[in-house]
């Protein structure tokens, strides 16, 4: 399969098509005439191309000819630092990056890979849960001798949204703006934003005098949010602030033909396994490369999760346990394995990889050169995703399912503003009043009102009902993996961190051990922008979304959880609209009794699945 890329000169054709699109400004391009247009560009219903989205490749090709780009970015961030220092007499100490999904995941990866440790302390604000911003503010205040005004003066706030209607960064920038205003601090040196002219983010930030930064160094608009790393300002600014060698970083993205062919070989391996019914790619990494796991997952699933018939699930953060997998000859065995490391790195268990091979599981082993920048790996994955898109003739740059949930959220939120809160919106009241719910220990409620009406769970308590659903759906192969997503902060808030540990335990003993299937564990709504494309588009997932009934708020910033809770409801509505299987679990709060009840609930579920 991989030989087709060379035989059909795909790379040469891609370079020629992209050059033509940039030279002629899309004139004369039509999706009906070229398969490379259909998979990597956006087009109107009549096929007329409206956006060339191959910037993720041509920016690397252009960077090789524009060696001044590295110093240009370094100079720009130096000016940002200087402006904060000159205005407030304070150094830059903190960076709050407000963005969702692809506009944020690369920053989380860089932080986990310790690339940002020499720069300002970075906080990724990828949620509209006030708890996340509240925890961030508490931390920067504590690091500023207890003074929030001092912390704000030393903070750079960056908002990024590559969609015209993306509202989440606006929510967070508005609340931070309110805090600057409350403390009578000039916020203009402290805010910058990356977006398209006329977008909701631009409409908020421009009248306030904030600096709009062009996302691409060629001043183009040819990258989706998840493709903004490693080559746009949205990806480069945090690295530059941390003193990363940008010249080496950019140079590493210009892959040679042998490296690109290897990426196409990986895509071909994935496609061959998927055609044989094995589409759950379990990612095994060295310790340093573990930081790239979630970004890799997002890139594949958001790009290629649109098909009902063919999907690709990237399974991350899962230890190798053969007891948790179906035997290789079992018809239900749908896993393959990708081992990833830089040569010589610790943490990749070669003995377990060998055991998987001996047992008969398909395994690919990707070994990068020692010390290769993470940017080279990111570009390699872009080529692999493109290669799989080409083999499947699937557009890998659009994200229709992400747009669905956003389209449902906004009317719910606007209605809540009229009636005085999300709890007064009819859809919310309908959810709370539904008879299709079960209580557990007085602090946990399992709601299944979004499931098809023919699913009856009368006569069972909450754990028995949940287990009965899993047995029936897994037995019929209606579901092949699970999702446990908490709508709230699990990164900075201590109670959210404690909840995350309970969910990790639940995912292991219910889905991995009992059902022998993968499970996604993350927080919402960030995951809606990251890998929900496949959950809605491809399906075959059993989704459980969780929420604390006690909502956080930040009165001094005029920040309530209404938009966040609208996202929780809209996610369920979007899944139901696409006939996907979703239940909700609400907890009274995030105190120990509620968390203990959650732990006990999943413990009972596991016992019911014996």
Percent of the chain at pLDDT > 90 equals 91
CATH architecture of 59-251: 3-Layer(aba) Sandwich (3.40)
Q: pLDDT band at 181, cuts 50/70/90?
A: very high
Mean pLDDT of 476-501: 96
Residue 316 pLDDT > 80: yes
> Residue 427, class by beta-carbon neighbours within 10 Å (0-12 exposed, 13-18 middle, 19+ buried)?
middle
Q: What is the pLDDT of residue 377?
A: 98
Tell me how crowded residue 432 is: count the other CB atoms within 10 A of its CB. Answer: 13
> Which tens digits make up the pLDDT trace of 408-456?
999 999 999 999 999 999 999 999 999 999 999 999 999 999 999 788 8
400-608 folds as: Rossmann fold (3.40.50)
Residue 165 pLDDT > 90: no
Whether residue 15 contacts residue 23, with contact meaning beta carbons closer than 8 Å, is answered with no
Residue 251 pLDDT > 80: yes
The verdict on domain 255-397 having CATH code 3.40.50.300 is no
Spatial distance between the Cα atoms of 521 and 504, rounded to a whole number of angstroms: 7
Residue 29 pLDDT > 80: yes
Mean pLDDT of the chain: 95
Residue 546 pLDDT > 80: yes
Residue 525 pLDDT > 90: no
Q: Domain extents for the chain?
A: 59-251, 255-397, 400-608
Residue 232 pLDDT > 90: yes
Residue 530 pLDDT > 80: no
Q: pLDDT band at 164, cuts 50/70/90?
A: confident
Mean pLDDT of 357-384: 97
Q: What is the pLDDT of residue 542?
A: 97
Q: pLDDT band at 289, cuts 50/70/90?
A: very high
Question: Which of 433, 460, 459 shows the shortest CA–CA distance to 447?
Answer: 433
Residue 51 pLDDT > 80: yes
The DSSP secondary-structure symbol of 52 reads: E
Question: Which of 110, 53, 100 shows the shortest CA–CA distance to 224?
Answer: 53
User: Does 59-251 match 255-397 in CATH topology?
Assistant: yes
Q: What is the pLDDT of residue 401?
A: 79
Task: Determine how β-strand 481-487 pairs with β-strand 541-548.
Answer: parallel
Residue 519 pLDDT > 80: yes
Q: What is the pLDDT of residue 93?
A: 98
Dihedral sign (CA 49, 55, 61, 66): positive
Spatial distance between the Cα atoms of 234 and 220, rounded to a whole number of angstroms: 13
Full-model pTM: 0.96
């Amino acid at each position: 399969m991989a030989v087709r890329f060379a035989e059909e000169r795909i790379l040469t054709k891609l370079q020629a098509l992209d050059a033509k699109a940039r030279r002629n400004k899309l004139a004369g391009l039509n999706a009906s005439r070229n398969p490379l247009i259909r998979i990597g560009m956006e087009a109107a219903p009549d096929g007329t191309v409206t956006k060339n989205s191959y910037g993720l490749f041509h920016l690397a090709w252009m960077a090789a000819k524009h060696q001044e780009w590295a110093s240009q970015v370094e100079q720009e961030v130096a000016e940002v630092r200087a402006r904060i220092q000159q205005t407030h007499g304070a150094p830059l100490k903190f960076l709050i990056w407000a963005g969702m999904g692809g506009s944020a995941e690369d920053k989380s990866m860089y932080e986990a890979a310790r690339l940002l440790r020499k720069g300002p302390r970075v906080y990724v604000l990828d949620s509209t849960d006030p708890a996340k911003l509240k925890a961030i503010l508490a931390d920067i205040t504590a690091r500023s001798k207890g003074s929030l005004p001092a912390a704000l003066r030393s903070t750079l706030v960056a908002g990024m949204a590559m969609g015209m209607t993306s509202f989440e960064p606006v929510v967070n920038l508005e609340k931070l703006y309110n805090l600057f205003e409350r403390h009578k601090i000039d916020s203009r040196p402290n805010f910058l934003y990356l977006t398209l002219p006329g977008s909701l983010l631009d409409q908020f930030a421009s009248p306030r005098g904030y600096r709009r930064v062009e996302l691409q160094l060629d001043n183009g608009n040819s990258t989706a949010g998840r493709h903004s790393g490693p080559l746009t300002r949205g990806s480069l600014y945090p690295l530059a602030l941390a003193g990363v060698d940008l010249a080496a970083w950019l140079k590493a993205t210009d892959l040679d033909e042998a490296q690109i062919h290897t990426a196409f070989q990986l895509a071909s391996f994935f496609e061959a396994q998927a055609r044989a019914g094995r589409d759950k790619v379990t990612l095994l990494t060295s310790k340093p490369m573990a930081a790239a796991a979630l970004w890799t997952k997002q890139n594949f699933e958001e790009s290629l999760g649109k098909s009902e018939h063919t999907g690709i699930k990237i399974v991350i953060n899962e230890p190798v346990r053969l007891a948790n997998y179906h035997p290789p000859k079992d018809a239900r065995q749908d896993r393959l394995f990708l081992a990833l490391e830089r040569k010589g790195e610790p943490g990749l268990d070669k003995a377990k990889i060998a055991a998987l091979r001996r047992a008969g599981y398909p395994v690919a082993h990707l070994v990068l050169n020692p010390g290769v920048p993470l940017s080279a790996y990111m570009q390699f994955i872009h080529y692999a995703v493109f290669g799989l898109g080409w083999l499947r003739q699937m557009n890998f740059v659009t994200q229709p399912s992400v747009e669905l949930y956003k389209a449902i959220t906004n009317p719910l939120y606007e209605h809540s503003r009229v009636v005085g809160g999300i709890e007064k919106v009819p859809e919310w009241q309908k959810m709370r009043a539904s008879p299709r719910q079960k209580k557990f220990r007085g602090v946990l409620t399992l709601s299944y009102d979004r499931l098809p009406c023919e699913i009856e769970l009368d006569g069972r308590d909450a754990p028995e009902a949940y287990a009965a659903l899993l047995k029936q759906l897994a037995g019929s192969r209606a579901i092949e993996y699970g999702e446990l997503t908490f709508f709230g902060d699990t990164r900075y808030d201590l109670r959210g961190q404690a909840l995350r540990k309970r969910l990790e335990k639940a995912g292991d003993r219910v889905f991995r051990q009992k059902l022998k299937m993968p499970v996604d564990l993350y927080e919402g709504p960030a995951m809606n922008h990251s890998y929900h494309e496949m959950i809605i588009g491809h399906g075959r997932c059993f989704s459980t979304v969780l929420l604390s009934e006690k909502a956080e708020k930040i009165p001094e910033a005029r920040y309530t959880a209404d938009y966040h809770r609208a996202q929780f409801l809209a996610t369920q509505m979007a899944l139901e609209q696409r006939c996907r299987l979703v239940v909700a679990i609400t907890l009274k709060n995030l105190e120990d009794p509620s968390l203990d009840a959650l732990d006990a609930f999943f413990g009972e579920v596991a016992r019911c699945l014996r």
